[in-house]
Structure 1
Amino acid sequence: MPTSQNQIIQLYGIPNCTTVKKARVWLEQHQIAYQFHDFKKTGASIEQLSAWAQQAGWEKLLNRQGTTWRQLDEETKASVIDAASAIDLMHSKTSSIKRPVLMSGTTLLVGFNETEYSQLAK
Structure 2
Amino acid sequence: MSVIMYGIPNCDTIKKAKKWLLENDIEFQFHDYRKQGIDTDLVNEFCHLLGWEQVLNKRGTTYRQLTDEQKQTLNEQTLIPLLVEHPAMIKRPIIRIGELLHIGFKAEQYNDIFHI
Structure 2 residue 10 is the aligned partner of structure 1 residue 16 = yes
1:32-71 equivalence runs, <5 A: 32-71=26-65
Q: Deviations over 1:78-103 (max 9, x none)?
A: 231x2111111101101100011100
Task: Determine the C-alpha separation between the residues in 1 that align with 2:96 and 2:108.
Answer: 16
Aligned residues: 115
Shift of 1:113: 2.1
Shift of 1:73: 2.2
1:83-122 equivalence runs, <5 A: 83-122=76-115
Task: Determine the C-alpha separation between the residues in 2 that align with 1:48 and 1:42.
Answer: 12
**What letter matches 1:86 in structure 2?**
L
Q: Deviations over 1:41-84 (max 9, x none)?
A: 1221111111111111000001011111112222322231x211
Task: Determine the C-alpha separation between the residues in 1 that align with 2:48 and 2:90.
Answer: 14
Q: Match of 1:95, SS?
A: helix
Please give the TM-score of this superposition, normalised by the length of structure 2.
0.93
**Cα RMSD, aligned residues only:** 1.1
Task: Determine the C-alpha separation between the residues in 2 that align with 1:18 and 1:12.
Answer: 13
Identity of aligned residues (%): 37
Task: Determine the C-alpha separation between the residues in 2 that align with 1:60 and 1:90.
Answer: 13
* Unpaired stretches in structure 1, ≥5 consecutive residues: none
